[in-house]
Amino acid sequence: MTDVPLTPRRPLLARFLESRNGLGLLFMLPAAVFLLCFLTYPLGLGVWLGFTDTRIGRTGEFIGLENYIWLFDDPIFWLSVYNTILYTVVASVLKFGLGLWLALILNEHLPFKTFFRAIILLPWVVPTVLSALAFWWIYDSQFSIISWVLMQWGLIDTPINFLGQPNHARASVIAANVWRGIPFVAISLLAGLQTIPQSLNEAAALDGATSWQRFTKVTLPLLTPIIAVVMTFSVLFTFTDFQLIYVLTRGGPVNATHLMATLSFQRAIPGGQLGEGAAIAVAMIPFLLAAILFSFFGLQRRRWQQGND
């Protein structure tokens, strides 16, 4: 037999630490642990709770899909789904329309431009709870300033019951949400508008475009990437809104303004049914995923954005 010279094998750990991937993994570890603890754990716990009959003060048992089957037959749950979709769609459309309109105005040359831009941000800067309280007072069934003004003008005889009547209440909370959400949309779209070179509008004007055509054929198409981002965020914020509703109506009257988020909280904490509350919250996930998916396609670089500069 011949002697085969053996190269001594180095310890596994040393080789692992020196390889590129091994080292990379090592550096990623802290971040991964952090993500796991603070993101995945609560989410996972929530999802798990949805499959149990946990109540406050009592650990629950795994009951499979029972919570979901129960919810499926619960008209209040379906009402909250309907409310959430209505709330999100109407509020988002209004925020988009009004926000874009405001952004277009603020993009023009007007006196005190910076002053107005600062003012616009106010609703966003005020803490939600504070603005919700203000709206609560504005919508008060007896002392509402809106009712008072309308009565002074002789348009109505008795105060409007803003939060006491289902459709009034829905409209009222949507109005409050729109008021609060407009600054974000308007300021973001304004930033987008400012990236569009003035000369494009001038070229279009010389090419014979009316101001409406300049808007639809030049400004709007160039703004779509930013609109996609802004509206994705806006929809997500609106869909998961909780504070405004909870302060203004607590879901009332007769659940007419319950959103999925408020219903989930209502069932879980004051109601004590943690499992059921979690199940409602989990039921929001498919909607949110759909919104994210939609924006993913909306956000893809368009063909005209590709290629080198």
- Contact set with another protein (CB under 8 A): 197, 199-200, 202-210, 213, 217-218, 221-222, 302-309
Give me the least distance between CB of 220 and another protein, in Å please.
Answer: 10
CB proximity list for 302: less than 8 A, separation 6 or greater: 224, 225
Distance CA 236, CA 30 (A): 29
Give me the least distance between CB of 207 and another protein, in Å please.
Answer: 4
**CA-closest candidate to residue 292, choices 242, 226, 235:** 235
Which residue's CB is nearer to another protein, number 107 or number 161?
A: 107
**CA-closest candidate to residue 126, choices 231, 247, 257:** 247
Indicate the Cα dihedral angle 202, 207, 211, 215, nearest 10°: -80
Which residue's CB is nearer to another protein, number 171 or number 209?
A: 209
Alpha-carbon separation of residue 149 from 43, 139, 179 (angstroms): 47, 12, 19
Cβ atoms of residues 274 and 54 within 8 Å: yes
Give me the least distance between CB of 219 and another protein, in Å please.
Answer: 11
Give me the least distance between CB of 106 and another protein, in Å please.
Answer: 21
Which residue's CB is nearer to another protein, number 271 or number 298?
A: 298
Which residue's CB is nearer to another protein, number 132 or number 204?
A: 204
CA atoms lying within 13 Å on the CB side of residue 251: 18
Rounded to 5 degrees, φ, ψ at 62 are: -70, 125
**CA-closest candidate to residue 204, choices 190, 223, 220, 218:** 218
Give me the least distance between CB of 226 and another protein, in Å please.
Answer: 13
Cβ atoms of residues 71 and 276 within 8 Å: yes
Give me the least distance between CB of 124 and another protein, in Å please.
Answer: 30
Which residue's CB is nearer to another protein, number 19 or number 211?
A: 211
Give me the least distance between CB of 131 and another protein, in Å please.
Answer: 38
Which residue's CB is nearer to another protein, number 95 or number 214?
A: 214
DSSP string, 132-162: HHHHHHHT-TTT-HHHHHHHHTTS-SS---T
253 upstream amide cis, omega within 30 of 0: yes
Give me the least distance between CB of 304 and another protein, in Å please.
Answer: 4
Which residue's CB is nearer to another protein, number 75 or number 307?
A: 307
Which residue's CB is nearer to another protein, number 141 or number 224?
A: 224
Cβ atoms of residues 63 and 273 within 8 Å: no
Alpha-carbon separation of residue 1 from 5, 8, 64, 113 (angstroms): 12, 20, 66, 93
